[in-house]
Amino acid sequence: MTHQVHAFEPPERFVAGTVGPPGDRTFFLQARGGGRLVSVALEKVQVSLLAEKLEELLSEAQRRFGVKLPETGPVSGDNDPLDTPVDEEFRVGTLGLAFDVDTETVVIEAIAVGEAEAGAEVEVDEPDDEESAEEPDDDLDRLRVRLTPEATRAFIERARRVVNAGRPPCPLCGQPLDPVGHLCPRHNGYHR
């Protein structure tokens, strides 16, 4: 079976976003460029982990290769909703990250869930450089984007805002609160 590689090097826009109300949101990575629009679905924890690992990758690139990074701080970046139509190309199983020293860009690769991964845990691979990245399954669809450090920083900030925009946590147990409350285990199952 043939697979598709949706490559955006660089994209006009690459963002994390959601569709649906808090508590029932579907998370997407969306890339736009060259008249194409690709949206891939993933889990909230994958978006959160991707932002965290991208931050670590930028810090490591600065430390090892002397890459100039943009300042962190309040960013008034892209707050627009996802471009429509939001048609899911595939569900992400594996996320791969690399830093290309020659072009000083970050490479993000989202790989579709394989048959073996359908019930497995989510993972993020972090190879040291692009050449050492092993191809997990060459027959799976993938989304590949190449971002500058500035665009990566903007993606990180937006991803964190999207993740934190969900339901507030319960002050006692930390589980998300629905608008009508929830059955808190710290209250022996009484509605809170």
Structure confidence by residue, pLDDT tens digits, 49-66: 999 999 999 999 999 999
Give, for 33, the enclosing helix (H) or strand (E): strand 26-33
Does the structure show a pLDDT above 90 at 72? no
Domain ranges of the chain: 5-115+136-164
d(CA 183, CA 192): 6
What pLDDT was estimated at residue 170?
85
pTM of the complete model: 0.81
What pLDDT was estimated at residue 180?
79
What pLDDT was estimated at residue 117?
56
Does the structure show a pLDDT above 80 at 137? no
Q: Which structure tokens are listed for 42? A: 């993933």
Phi, psi angle pair for 165, to nearest 5°: -85, 5
| Cis check: omega of the bond before 127, within 30 degrees of 0 | no
Does the structure show a pLDDT above 50 at 133? no
Phi, psi angle pair for 54, to nearest 5°: -65, -40
Determine the average pLDDT of the residues in 127-148: 71
Q: What percent of the chain has pLDDT over 90?
A: 61
Helix axes of 149-164 and 44-65: crossing angle, nearest 10 degrees? 150
Number of other CB atoms surrounding residue 42 within 10 Å: 23
- The highest-level CATH class for domain 5-115+136-164 is alpha beta
Q: Which structure tokens are listed for 100? A: 């290309």
Q: Which structure tokens are listed for 44? A: 């909230």
Determine the average pLDDT of the residues in 87-106: 96
Does the structure show a pLDDT above 80 at 129? no
Determine the average pLDDT of the residues in 12-26: 93
Q: Which of 41-55, 100-114, 158-172 has the lowest mean pLDDT?
A: 158-172
What pLDDT was estimated at residue 60?
96
Determine the average pLDDT of the residues in 83-104: 96
What pLDDT was estimated at residue 18?
96
Does the structure show a pLDDT above 70 at 191? no
Please, are residues 151 and 13 in contact by the beta-carbon 8 Å criterion?
Answer: no
